[in-house]
Amino acid sequence: MSDIVLTTLNAKFSHAAFGLRYLFANLGELQPRAVIAEFDINQRPLEIAEKILARNPKILGLGIYIWNVAETAEVISAVKKVRPEIKIILGGPEVSYETAGQGMVDLADHVITGEADLKFSEVCRALLKPNPDEPLPKIIVAELPEFPRLQLPYDFYTEADIAHRIVYVEASRGCPFTCEFCLSSLDIPVRQVPLDKFLAAMQKLLDRGLKQFKFVDRTFNLNILTSKALLEFFLARYQPGMFFHFEMIPDRLPAELRAVIAKFPPGSLQFEVGIQTFNPEVGSLISRRQNYDRLTENFQFLRQETSVHIHADLIVGLPGETVDSFGAGFDRLIALGPQEIQIGILKRLRGTPIIRHDAEWQMVYNAHPPYDILQNRLIDFATMQRLRRFAKYWDLIGNSGNFVATLPLVWRDGSPFASFFRFSDWLYAQLGRTDTIALVRLAEKLFEFLTAELNHEAGLAAEKLWLDWQRGGHRDPPEKIRAFLEDASAARPRANKSALPKRQARHLAV
C-alpha cells in the first residue's frame, strides 16, 4: 500500500528507469509514502494496471516516452475506469510538448512539462493536503532545477539493478547545440552536477560492485576539465570487466583528454559519436555545426592510438539528404573504422523545430510512435522502406560483431553503401522479413550472397565465416559451409569470455 506510485514502461526489462529514481530521491518527507514500480512494454497493459491498483495509490506518476506511448495509454485508461479518483500525473519528453490532442493527456489529472525532479514532489504535497488551497492547473510547467538543490538518485538502484540491469548516470544535463531533430537542442543551458558530489556517488556504486556505467550526458566532452576528471577517476579504479559509455562531440578531443583516453584497457571505453550527416549543406539546414576535418582526425586517433569502441550515428531522411549523399557519408564513415554504425531513421519528435522544413522538403511522418519519416521530396516511400531494411540488416550483420571478418567481402570491389544496399534488397527478397532471423540462417544467406551473387571463391568465404562463427562461441560450422572448409576441426580463436557487453566483446576479439 503506497500513497504515491511512480511507474513507467521501460523498453526492455534490462533498462532501469533513471527518471523515476530522480523523482523518488527528491520526494523529501513524502518518500516513505511512495514506491517505484517498473514494468516494460512486453507486459500486458491490463496486468500492469492490476499490479498498480493492488497498491491502492492516491497518486500515480507515469513517465511517458516515445517507446511506451500506446501501452501506457491503455494502462491509464484502465486505471481511470476502475479507480477514477486516483490522481494521475504524467511527465517525460512525450508529454512535455504539443500536449493538445493527446488522448492520455485528456485522461490524466495533471501533466508536468520539463524536468520534474522537484516539481513532482511539490504537486504531490498539494494533492495530498486534506484541504487543498486551490485546484492545480492541468498543465504544470517545471522550472529548470539547479543541481545543487537536487538529491542524486543512485542509492535507489537496487542490488538486482546493479547485477542485472543497465545503470544510467549523468554528470551534466543539456546541450549547447541546436540540431533541429533533437529534443536536447531545447535543453539550454548545460548544467553540471557538482563534481565532488557526483564522484562520491560513483564511488558508492563502485563499492557496491557496479562495473558498467552508461552516461546519458549529451556532450560528455564539452567541459574538458570535468570530463578529464571523470576519466581519471574511473581509470584509477579500473578493474577487469568495467565498461564506461559516453556520448561525445566528435570534433572536440584536445590533447589533455587524448592522453587519458589512451590509457584505458581494450574494450573498457565506448564513445557514442553523433555525426548524423557528412553533407555540410544538410548540416546547415538542420542547424548542426561540426568540423569534419577535426572529426576525421579524432576518429583516426581513436582507432589508431586507443582501444575505444566507437558507436557512430548517421540519420536517414534528413531534409536535403539524397540517397547518394547519405551513401557517400556512409562510405566515408566506414573508412574511418568505427566498430558500430547506428543508422537511425529520422523521427519527428514533439517539440523539435524540424517541422519548419515540412513544406519545402515535403516531409511526411508516421502519425504514430516513433513518428519516423515515411517519405520526403528526395526519397519516396518505397526507397525509404528499402533504407529502413538496410538499417535493420546492418544492425544484425554489421553492428552485432557476428560477422566482422566476413562483412568486408560484401564490398571488396566497390562502395560499402551500394554493395550492402544490394545485399539488403537481395536478403529481403529471400527472407521477406527483417527480424526473428536465426543467426545460422543469416550466416548461410550471407555465404550464399557472397558466392552466388558476388562470385567470391567459396573456400575464402567459408573460412571467413568459420572464423566469425568460432569467435561467437560456436563449435560446429553451419552445415552449408562445412563442405568448403579444408579442416573444420582445426584450432581457431576461442570466443572472448570477457565480462564486457556481448557486442563489444565480439568486436574486441578481432
494 C-beta neighbours (distance < 10 Å), count:
10
Confidence of residue 342 (pLDDT cuts 50, 70, 90): very high
Q: In this predicted model, what pLDDT tens digit does every residue of 35-46 receive, in sequence order?
A: 999 999 999 999
How is residue 233 annotated by DSSP? H
What's the whole-number average pLDDT of the chain?
94
Rounding to the nearest 10 degrees, give the CA dihedral for residues 23, 26, 27, 31: 90
- Cα(278)–Cα(181) distance, integer angstroms: 16
Q: Answer whether residue 488 shows pLDDT above 70.
A: no
* 459 vs 501, residue with greater confidence: 459
Which residues fall within 8 angstroms of residue 117, CB to CB, at 6 or more apart? 22, 23, 26, 142, 145, 150
- Cα(345)–Cα(341) distance, integer angstroms: 13
Please report how the helices 439-448 and 416-431 are oriented relative to each other, as an axis angle in degrees rounded to 10.
Answer: 120
DSSP 441-496: HHHHHHHHIIIIIS---HHHHHHHHHHHHHHTT-SS--HHHHTT-S-TTS--PPPP
Model pLDDT, residue 451: 97
Section 78-101 average pLDDT = 96
Cα angle 143-148-152, degrees, rounded to a multiple of 5: 95
Section 310-316 average pLDDT = 97
Pull the grid cell for residue 161.
539493478
First and final C-alpha spacing in the chain: 53
Place of cell 512494454: 41
Q: In this predicted model, what pLDDT tens digit does every residue of 91-144 receive, in sequence order?
A: 999 999 999 989 999 999 999 999 999 999 999 999 999 887 788 999 999 999
How is residue 31 annotated by DSSP? G
Section 366-383 average pLDDT = 97
Q: Are 82 and 49 in contact (CB under 8 A)?
A: yes
Section 221-249 average pLDDT = 95
> For residue 309, what are the β-bridge partners?
270
Look at residue 368 and give its three-state secondary structure: coil
Model pLDDT, residue 503: 80
Q: Are 508 and 402 in contact (CB under 8 A)?
A: no
Q: Quick one: which of 325, 323, 334 has its CA closest to 408? A: 334
- Cα(315)–Cα(343) distance, integer angstroms: 6
Q: Answer whether residue 491 shows pLDDT above 50.
A: no
Confidence of residue 333 (pLDDT cuts 50, 70, 90): very high
Q: How far is CA 406 from CA 425, 442, 446, 450, 463, in A?
A: 19, 12, 9, 9, 9
Model pLDDT, residue 496: 54
Q: What are the extents of the domains in the chain? A: 4-145, 166-350, 380-510
Section 259-267 average pLDDT = 96
- Cα(406)–Cα(4) distance, integer angstroms: 53
Section 348-359 average pLDDT = 95
Give the pairing of strands 110-113 and 87-91: parallel
Q: Answer whether residue 11 shows pLDDT above 70.
A: yes
Model pLDDT, residue 188: 64
Q: What pTM value is reported for the model?
A: 0.93
Section 480-495 average pLDDT = 71
Q: In this predicted model, what pLDDT tens digit does every residue of 423-481 receive, in sequence order?
A: 999 999 999 999 999 999 999 999 999 999 999 999 999 999 999 999 888 889 999 99
The Cβ-side half-sphere exposure at 331, using a 13 Å CA radius, reads 16
- Cα(310)–Cα(304) distance, integer angstroms: 12
- Cα(222)–Cα(259) distance, integer angstroms: 17
- Cα(113)–Cα(101) distance, integer angstroms: 15
Q: Are 35 and 63 in contact (CB under 8 A)?
A: no
- Cα(328)–Cα(322) distance, integer angstroms: 10
Section 336-352 average pLDDT = 96
The CATH class for the domain spanning 166-350 reads: alpha beta
Question: Percentage of residues in the chain with pLDDT exceeding 70?
Answer: 97
Phi, psi torsion values for 495, nearest 5 degrees: -60, 140
- Cα(177)–Cα(187) distance, integer angstroms: 9
Q: In this predicted model, what pLDDT tens digit does every residue of 403-427 receive, in sequence order?
A: 999 999 999 889 999 999 999 999 9
DSSP 294-355: HHHHHHHHHHHH--PEEEEEEEES-TT--HHHHHHHHHHHHHH--SEEEEEEPB--TT-GGG
Q: Which residues of 60-89 are buried (b: 16+ CB within 10 A; e: fewer)?
A: bbbbbbbbbbebbbbbbebbbeebeebbbb
Q: Are 430 and 404 in contact (CB under 8 A)?
A: no
Model pLDDT, residue 183: 84
Model pLDDT, residue 5: 98
- Cα(220)–Cα(442) distance, integer angstroms: 36
CATH number of this structure's domain 4-145: 3.40.50.280
Q: Answer whether residue 295 shows pLDDT above 70.
A: yes
In total, the chain counts a number of residues equal to 510
Model pLDDT, residue 132: 73
Confidence of residue 507 (pLDDT cuts 50, 70, 90): confident
Q: Quick one: which of 31, 33, 5 has its CA closest to 17? A: 5
